[in-house]
């Protein structure tokens, strides 16, 4: 297949975008003139916002409890089916077997009662389909995805159904997968991204199972085919699952092609809400020494809210203002004015348990001190000063207006519908969402910023050249240093 | 507040008709065809329209026929640095205001640079047609960059290099391979360029590059989605019509001397934990029959887990953790690449032998029918996915029009893949996958100096 190496100028920004912020100039602090963002307001802009009604999928519940949602889109001969199974994700791993959910998901396509691993690969790819499952860490959900052409959908859907319902977990394939996974455990420690995720998750989640980010060697050694079969039998149950199908297919065709699903045996119970998380208390600073690093990866944040929280909407607006895109405050300040980084952003993680709000970026080692100052300036600014009216209005407008583009992405539209189920939101939630966004006030933004971004409790993690970074970070508090194996180090 | 007074202009229901509950018989596969209309302004600006009213949105791209192939010694990375300059302000748009205007109005945007072209693209709801056209026209007409802004983006680009190359495992591997496999300077340096050359770039370089390459006659404007062609054309004339043409830029000489002996190099990587083997072969320019045949062969050999390379290296012999096989297609010489992430402790010579043996088979044994069928279905699936968003359609059409002069390749490319026969595959395997045309880069984990330090901890 073709491969086109492309250099992006701005790091791809997700669908969601945000507004502009005036960067306060600090007079006299710099000898070199800074590059200043400037607004001329001369471009022709339509003041109308396309109000989009998010299309609602057809919904069916099977007698075994499986929810099926179908969103028709016949523009292209494509069908995507995604099954989200609550309770089968890595968050539910037994404490002494981290990785069990993940290995089970990966092993589904390594053999069924009637097909070998190789046959599954050959048949899937001959149909031009993609079938696979994953159970990412910190998620309650295992996700089984099958996608392909509508030309031969009945064939690859039958194959996918066999993989989902009749896995055989052959021992030789499990042993091979364990060997590959062990090498990946070693390889992942070479990236700053993994080291960051490992340390930051531990910092904010503490003893909560969401702190786990990787299988362990000991857990891999422990896993047997019987454990996978048991996990599959008890966790892959229809009453905890939602099947979303989008694309060139009708509800009647879904019923016909997924004919194996009504016989999927129900389990014993619905999954309970996961254990609650709470913000880490007291500021902590962690420094991961990654020898050879020419950049520092920084994440700053703490646990904020869950997805059901009434503060979700004001938090979305607050997050966009601070770091939701290439026009948000962090990007404008750290990149466009100071040139410290290729990009700096913030993110809000909200699931059925509370996740963190995070500010993050990567910058050259000797710019880390300046970047830390600006991160803290932006954190203090959103807390201490009401958002100017114009900036707030533009931010809200950007959120609401960006919905129009989602009409091109049927699987994303389906995700909106699935979110209603998973988070138990009212049926008209998305219909009223734009109005909820537009109603947010500067006062609400400041209130949630002050409530969920508490400087004295912030968890700060840096990955890079520890010898150079320790003096920079010392001024933010007591620094704990770790090596790339995740072990504490006495000195950098 | 403006929003309260705004009526809903479009409803999502236009798109999603109520289900009829009837079963379609599985008939002939839907053709993957989109409309292509072409125009040209007097100043040489090429225009491609592809109408699609299924959603109230549009995508726009402007593709300039310039990339790292046009750079000269001492200025590697300049085409990409220049791309960043296009966000630094023009007569009516301030520095950084482009991002603000796009995002505040619910749009998406970015730009990208390759060896062969540089593009800029946005997507919006269809009521913002003027905004997208104006933003692109203003910077094509009147880019205005000062020293502080150049220095600022030089920093941002150097951070981009650190983030994607210098601070990553295997980050420099592809740069080393590119430098080894090609002889012609135009081909052998990377798009991101060297830190030293980025430091050397001046405001005069920016002005020269803009004048030579950012003229309307060196660009293609592509519009895809919900617009009326007559209206859009009138707006394009209004915004772009007065931008003067420039003399045609010089075409870079991309010719490569024939390689006569295998080349190889071993590098040590400070971050890698697992050895990696890159085996590459020089190939002809893209959009030629031989490259389509090599493209099919790459998918046969390495596409998916059923492929011979994956089955043999990863599953049967357990010599590797993963393997990839792909074509890097260029207007100049392309490459056929195999990349293996080997298992630590395995003999890399043995890994290489297994790869070569699989490549050799393609020269003597005809590809089984099911494997060709697999390629066709995988390609059709990929092609359909590439057509999903108006933005990506605008991206690909612009690229095809700029590099190969043929926007219709978005429609005909799949046919060209499908027309590759078994004899073509055997021929290109024999012609290009030879020992004297081979270049091998081995990336080894750098031995840790940590043992000495451990006592001190």
* Global ipTM: 0.92
A378 within 8 A of A215, measured Cβ to Cβ: no
Residue A24, pLDDT score: 36
Contacts of A176 in chain B (CB under 8 A): 315, 318
The DSSP call for residue A408 is T
Contact A250 B191 (CB under 8 A): no
Q: Give per-residue pLDDT as tens, B347-390.
A: 999 999 999 999 999 999 999 999 999 999 999 999 999 999 99
Residue A27, pLDDT score: 36
Nearest-Cα distance to chain B for A117, in Å, is 9
Residues of A (270-329) whose Cβ lies below 8 Å from B: 290-295, 325-327
Question: How far is the CA of A365 from the CAs of A32, A166, B385, in angstroms?
Answer: 20, 52, 40
- Please provide the distance, in angstroms rounded to a whole number, between the alpha carbons at the two ends of chain A: 45
Separation CA B222–CA A273 (nearest Å): 49
A437 within 8 A of A396, measured Cβ to Cβ: yes
Q: Does A60 touch chain B (CB under 8 A)?
A: no
Contacts of A346 (CB under 8 A, 6+ apart): A319, A322, A323, A324, A328, A330, A357, A358, A359, A360
Residue A52, pLDDT score: 84
Contact A438 B1 (CB under 8 A): yes
Q: At what angle do helices A429-438 and A389-401 cross, to 10 degrees?
A: 160
Contacts of B421 (CB under 8 A, 6+ apart): none
Residue A34, pLDDT score: 74
Contacts of A163 in chain B (CB under 8 A): none
**Beta-carbon pairs below 8 A across chains A and B:** 399
Average pLDDT over residues B40-61: 97
The DSSP call for residue A167 is B
Tokens (6 digits) for A481: 């240093």
Q: Which residues of chain A have pLDDT under 50?
A: 4-31
* Burial track B61-75 (b if 16+ CB lie within 10 A, e otherwise): bbbbbbbbbbbeeeb
Give the number of residues written for chain A.
492
Run of H or E residues at B62: strand B57-64
Question: How far is the CA of A43 from the CAs of B101, B126, B133, B240, B312, in angstroms?
Answer: 8, 16, 10, 14, 58
Average pLDDT over residues B73-96: 97
Separation CA B406–CA B386 (nearest Å): 17
Positive or negative: CA dihedral A406, A423, A103, A144: negative
Separation CA A237–CA B157 (nearest Å): 49
Separation CA A475–CA B60 (nearest Å): 48
Separation CA B243–CA B257 (nearest Å): 40
B271 within 8 A of A190, measured Cβ to Cβ: yes
Average pLDDT over residues B39-44: 98
Residues of A (439-478) whose Cβ lies below 8 Å from B: none
Separation CA A51–CA A53 (nearest Å): 7
Positive or negative: CA dihedral A426, A431, A437, A440: negative
Percent of chain B with pLDDT over 70: 92
Separation CA B178–CA B335 (nearest Å): 10
Residues of A (212-231) whose Cβ lies below 8 Å from B: none
Contacts of B95 in chain A (CB under 8 A): 35-38, 336
Run of H or E residues at B281: strand B276-285
Residue B456, pLDDT score: 35
A352 within 8 A of A423, measured Cβ to Cβ: yes
Contact A180 B314 (CB under 8 A): yes
Residue B4, pLDDT score: 28
Nearest-Cα distance to chain B for A330, in Å, is 13
Separation CA A79–CA A318 (nearest Å): 36
Contact A3 B295 (CB under 8 A): no
Contact A43 B135 (CB under 8 A): yes
CA angle, A185 as apex, A180 and A189 as ends, to 5°? 140
Residue A2, pLDDT score: 63
Percent of chain B with pLDDT over 90: 91
Average pLDDT over residues B10-36: 52
Q: Does A259 touch chain B (CB under 8 A)?
A: no
Separation CA B116–CA B200 (nearest Å): 22
Comparing B7 with B152, which gets the higher pLDDT? B152
Separation CA A317–CA A444 (nearest Å): 10
Nearest-Cα distance to chain A for B140, in Å, is 14
Contacts of A484 (CB under 8 A, 6+ apart): A189, A195, A288, A289, A290, A291
Whole-angstrom Cα Rg for chain A: 24
Tokens (6 digits) for A439: 């109603």
Model pTM score: 0.92
A403 within 8 A of B106, measured Cβ to Cβ: yes
Q: Any bridge partners for residue B60, and if so which?
A: B122, B223
Residue A270, pLDDT score: 80
Tokens (6 digits) for A455: 């400087």
Contacts of A55 (CB under 8 A, 6+ apart): A71, A407, A413, B12, B13, B15, B16
Contact B26 A152 (CB under 8 A): yes
Q: How confident is the model at residue B9 (pLDDT cuts 50, 70, 90)?
A: very low
Contacts of B271 in chain A (CB under 8 A): 190-191, 290, 292
Nearest to B271 by CA among A422, A470, A192: A192
Separation CA B433–CA B364 (nearest Å): 12
Run of H or E residues at B409: helix B409-418
Tokens (6 digits) for B324: 């990839």
Comparing B281 with A272, which gets the higher pLDDT? B281
């Amino acid at each position: 297949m073709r491969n086109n190496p492309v250099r992006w100028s701005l790091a791809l920004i997700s669908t969601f975008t945000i507004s502009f912020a005036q960067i306060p100039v600090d007079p006299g602090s710099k000898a070199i003139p800074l590059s200043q963002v400037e607004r001329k307001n001369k471009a022709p802009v339509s003041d109308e916002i396309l109000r989009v009604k998010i299309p609602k999928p057809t919904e069916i519940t099977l007698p075994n409890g499986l929810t099926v949602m179908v969103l028709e889109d016949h523009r292209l001969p494509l069908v995507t089916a995604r099954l989200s199974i609550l309770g089968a994700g890595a968050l539910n791993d037994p404490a002494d077997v981290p990785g069990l959910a993940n290995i089970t998901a990966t092993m589904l396509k390594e053999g069924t009662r009637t097909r070998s691993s190789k046959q599954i690969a050959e048949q899937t790819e001959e149909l031009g389909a993609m079938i696979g499952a994953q159970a990412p860490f910190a998620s309650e959900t295992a996700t089984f995805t099958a996608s392909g052409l509508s030309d031969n959908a009945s064939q690859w859907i039958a194959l996918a159904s066999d993989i989902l319902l009749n896995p055989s977990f052959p021992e030789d394939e499990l042993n091979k997968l364990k060997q590959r996974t062990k090498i990946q455990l070693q390889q992942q420690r070479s990236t700053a991204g993994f080291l960051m995720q490992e340390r930051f998750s531990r910092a904010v989640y503490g003893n909560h199972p969401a702190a786990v980010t990787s299988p362990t060697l000991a857990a891999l050694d422990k896993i047997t085919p019987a454990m996978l079969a048991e996990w599959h039998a008890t966790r892959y149950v229809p009453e905890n699952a939602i099947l979303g199908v989008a694309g060139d297919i009708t509800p009647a065709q879904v019923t016909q092609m997924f004919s194996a699903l009504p016989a999927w045996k129900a389990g014993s119970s619905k999954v309970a809400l996961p254990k609650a998380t709470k913000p880490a208390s007291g500021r902590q600073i962690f420094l991961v020494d990654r020898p050879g690093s020419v950049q520092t990866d920084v994440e700053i944040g703490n646990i904020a809210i869950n997805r059901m929280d009434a503060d979700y909407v004001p938090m979305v607006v607050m997050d966009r203002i601070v770091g939701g895109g290439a026009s948000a405050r962090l990007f404008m300040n750290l990149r466009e004015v100071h040139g410290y980084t290729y990009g700096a952003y913030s993110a809000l993680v909200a699931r059925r348990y509370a996740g963190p709000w995070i500010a993050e970026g990567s910058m050259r080692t000797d710019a880390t001190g300046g970047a830390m100052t600006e991160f803290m300036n932006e954190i203090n600014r959103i807390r201490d000063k009401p958002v100017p009216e114009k900036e707030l209005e533009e931010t809200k407008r950007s959120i609401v207006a960006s919905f129009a583009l989602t009409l091109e992405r049927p699987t994303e539209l389906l995700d909106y519908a699935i979110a209603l189920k998973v988070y138990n939101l009212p049926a008209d939630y998305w219909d009223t969402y734009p109005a909820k966004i537009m109603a947010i006030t500067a006062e609400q933004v400041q209130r949630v910023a002050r409530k969920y971004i508490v400087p004295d409790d912030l968890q700060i993690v840096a990955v890079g050249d520890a010898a150079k970074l320790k003096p920079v970070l010392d001024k933010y508090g007591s620094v704990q240093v770790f090596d790339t194996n995740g072990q504490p180090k006495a000195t950098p | 507040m403006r929003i309260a007074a705004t009526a809903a202009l479009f409803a999502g229901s236009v798109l999603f008709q109520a289900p009829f509950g009837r079963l379609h018989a599985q008939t002939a596969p839907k053709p993957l065809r989109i409309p292509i209309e072409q125009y040209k302004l007097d100043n040489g600006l090429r225009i491609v329209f592809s109408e699609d009213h299924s959603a109230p949105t549009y995508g726009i791209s402007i593709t300039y026929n310039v990339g790292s192939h046009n750079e000269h010694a001492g200025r590697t990375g300049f085409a990409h640095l220049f791309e960043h300059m296009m966000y630094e302000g023009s007569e009516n748009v301030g520095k950084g205001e482009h991002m603000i205007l796009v995002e505040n109005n619910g749009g998406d945007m970015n730009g990208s640079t390759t060896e062969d072209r540089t593009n800029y693209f946005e997507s919006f709801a269809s009521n913002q047609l003027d905004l997208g056209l104006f933003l692109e026209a203003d910077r094509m007409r009147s880019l205005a960059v000062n020293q502080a802004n150049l220095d600022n983006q030089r920093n941002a680009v150097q951070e981009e290099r650190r983030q994607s190359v210098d601070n990553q495992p295997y980050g420099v591997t592809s740069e080393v391979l590119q430098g080894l496999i090609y002889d012609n300077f135009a081909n052998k340096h990377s798009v991101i360029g060297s830190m030293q050359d980025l430091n050397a770039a001046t405001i005069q370089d920016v002005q020269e590059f803009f004048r030579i390459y950012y003229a309307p006659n060196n660009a293609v404007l592509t519009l895809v989605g919900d617009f009326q062609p007559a209206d859009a054309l009138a707006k394009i004339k209004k915004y772009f019509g007065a931008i003067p043409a420039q003399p045609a830029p010089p075409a870079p000489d991309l010719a490569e001397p024939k390689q006569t002996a295998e080349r190889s190099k071993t590098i040590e990587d400070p971050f890698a934990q697992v050895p990696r083997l890159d085996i590459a072969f020089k190939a002809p320019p893209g959009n030629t029959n031989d490259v389509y045949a090599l493209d099919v062969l790459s998918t046969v050999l390495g596409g998916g887990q059923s492929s011979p390379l994956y089955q043999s290296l990863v599953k049967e012999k357990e010599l590797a953790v993963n393997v990839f096989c792909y074509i890097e297609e260029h207007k100049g010489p392309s490459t056929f690449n195999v990349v293996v992430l080997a298992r630590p402790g395995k003999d890399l010579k043995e890994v290489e032998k297994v790869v070569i043996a699989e490549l050799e088979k393609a020269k003597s044994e005809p590809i089984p029918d099911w494997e060709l069928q697999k390629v066709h279905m995988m390609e059709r699936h990929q092609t359909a996915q590439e057509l999903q968003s108006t933005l990506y359609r605008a991206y690909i059409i612009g690229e095809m029009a700029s590099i190969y002069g043929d926007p219709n390749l978005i429609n005909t490319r799949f046919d060209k893949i499908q027309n590759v026969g078994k004899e073509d595959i055997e021929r290109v395997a024999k012609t290009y996958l030879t020992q004297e045309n081979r270049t091998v880069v081995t990336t080894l984990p750098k031995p840790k100096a940590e043992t000495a330090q451990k006592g001190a901890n």
